[in-house]
Amino acid sequence: MRFPKSLFFLFLLLSVSGFAQKTISHKVVSGESVYSIAKKYNVTEAEIIEINPKAKGLLQLDMVLSIPKNSKKKAEDKKAKFVPKGPSHKVESGESLYTIAKKYDIPMDKLREANPQLDSDNLQLGELLALPKGIKKQVEDKPSKAESAKIAKLQSKLQKHTVASGESFYVIAKKYNISVEELKKANPQVENDKLDIKDVVFIPGTENVVVKDKKAKEEKKKEVEKIKVETPVVVTEEKKSTGNETLGTIHEVVAKETKYGISKRYGISIAELEKLNPQITNGLEVGQQLVVRGEVKKEEVKTTKEILTTTDANDVASTSEADFVEAKREVLPLSADAAMKADFLIAKASENLGVRYRGGGTDKNGFDCSGLMFTTFRNLDMTLPRSSSDMAANSGVKIDRSQAQKGDLIFFATRGRWVGHVGMITEITDDEIKFIHSSTSAGVIISSTKEPYYSKRFVQINRVLN
């Protein structure tokens, strides 16, 4: 009996010794928490609790914890710090090793060999990959000197915004009621969309109105000084439309107005304003007549007359009247603000590409399909139901497939005839809809309604963003 016992104790000693080599002992001192200890050793809280189950509650003074030496977080940090020496490629939303290899016309094996830091084919958004030798990096053409000078001249007329802590292109664009694309286009000097505190960005659509005639400028100034009115109140008056002519709301530009101010007043984006009035792309002029509502046939919709009233009868007489139309639509397209929210949600969801599927999961350790949507929309303080069937029944408004837009939820029947799966639309091209979701087989991926599996099981689309 002694021989087996000695073997048992030897095995136990070797196991403890092996475990000790993989961990570090830490004695808890006053004021420490699992979070602070994890941060100190650059490991995750989950890894500490996994080895030390008692650490899940309150830590006891002088408690000894085992801290893992080989942390997943350290491996991820090492992966994140990988900087290719030669040509490289930055992973974009929806890309995989296959699509990148195809883009550069190289075998996937060669791409894997050039990136020994990869422990799987799962890629993270923004990750840098080294390209095999002999492959030229595809870069965008830099603007010429003339183009740079033109951009600098335009920026000199725009309002400046100093980046504050926590601000991103999305946050700033939302603040000024413009799209993220417009903001990025006006600031080509920002590399990799990375903003730092105290960086200066230029806000498109905030250039001052150009007054060509000096005399006209002086007259307008005198006119403005004479006018002392309160904020206009919009009064609507219905009238019956006749004829087939096309109407729209007309706005006359006055001194010191900006595209930003006009778009905000009428509740449209600067892009929509410029689309309706291509002549203002390079700036506004006093007296210009701008269309600020979409044009439709009078015979198709009711029309109203908009009268701007003030406290002074003389001001009413001098104020231009404008007819506008309001189309009756089953579902309106996404507003500029909602479109920005959709882009933001897609970017947040794409950060989880490659994360595995886990039933009931709502974090980086794994997502189920509704868990991914639940967590993604929480970034906008929107709380969705916790199951795909509840989302289909109680989230937003059900819309026709032809009206689908980015940010809408798309549902599939994976449990007979009942909704059992959900994703978020990321792209729409002709009759194809692409969506991000967490699949049981591949985790978080981007799929298409062209794929037979999803084509046969499509149920409905819900508009959640207002």
Cα–Cα distance for residue pair 151/305, rounded to 1 Å: 41
> Is 421 among the catalytic positions?
yes
Q: Residue 241: pLDDT above 60?
A: no
Beta bridge partners of 303: 239, 325
Q: Which CATH number fits domain 228-325: 3.40.50.300, 3.40.50.360, 3.10.350.10, 3.20.20.150?
A: 3.10.350.10
pLDDT at 116: 83
Q: Residue 422: pLDDT above 90?
A: yes
In this prediction, residues 220-232 reach a mean pLDDT of: 50
Residue 272 contacts by C-beta under 8 Å, 6 or more apart in sequence?
Answer: 263, 336
pLDDT at 349: 93
**What topology is assigned to 336-463 in CATH?**
endopeptidase fold (from Nostoc punctiforme) (3.90.1720)
Q: Work out the pLDDT band at 239, boundaries 50, 70, 90.
A: very low
Q: Work out the pLDDT band at 361, boundaries 50, 70, 90.
A: very high
pTM of the model: 0.35
pLDDT at 407: 94
pLDDT, greater one: 233 or 224: 224
Q: Find out whether 362 and 374 touch, Cβ atoms under 8 Å.
A: yes
276: tokens are: 């309706």
Q: Residue 252: pLDDT above 60?
A: yes
Q: What is the mean pLDDT of the chain?
A: 75
pLDDT at 13: 52
Domain boundaries 82-130, corresponding CATH code: 3.10.350.10
Structural element, H or E, at residue 215: helix 214-226
Structural element, H or E, at residue 445: strand 443-448
3-state secondary structure 280-291: HCCCCECCCEEE
pLDDT, greater one: 397 or 229: 397
Q: 250-254, 349-353, 360-364, 376-380: lowest mean pLDDT where?
A: 250-254
142: tokens are: 């830099």
pLDDT at 7: 56
Q: Count CA atoms within 13 Å of residue 30 on its CB side.
A: 0
Say which residue the tokens 């087989």 belong to: 441
Identical fold at 2-74 and 145-203? yes
Q: 14-28, 34-48, 267-281, 399-413: lowest mean pLDDT where?
A: 14-28
Its CATH class, for the domain covering 2-74, is alpha beta
Instruction: List, for residues 286-298, the tens digit of each pLDDT value.
Output: 888 888 865 433 3
Q: Residue 141: pLDDT above 70?
A: no
**CATH architecture, range 145-203:** Roll (3.10)
In this prediction, residues 291-315 reach a mean pLDDT of: 40
Name the residue ranges covered by the structural domains of the chain: 2-74, 82-130, 145-203, 228-325, 336-463
pLDDT at 140: 45
Q: C-alpha distances in angstroms, 122 versus 78, 109, 439?
A: 16, 15, 14
For CA atoms 60, 62, 63, 69, the dihedral sign is positive
Please state the length of the chain.
466
Instruction: List, for residues 153-209, the tens digit of each pLDDT value.
Output: 888 888 888 888 778 888 888 888 788 888 888 888 887 667 888 889 998 877 655
User: Which of 8-22, 113-127, 419-433 tops mean pLDDT?
Assistant: 419-433
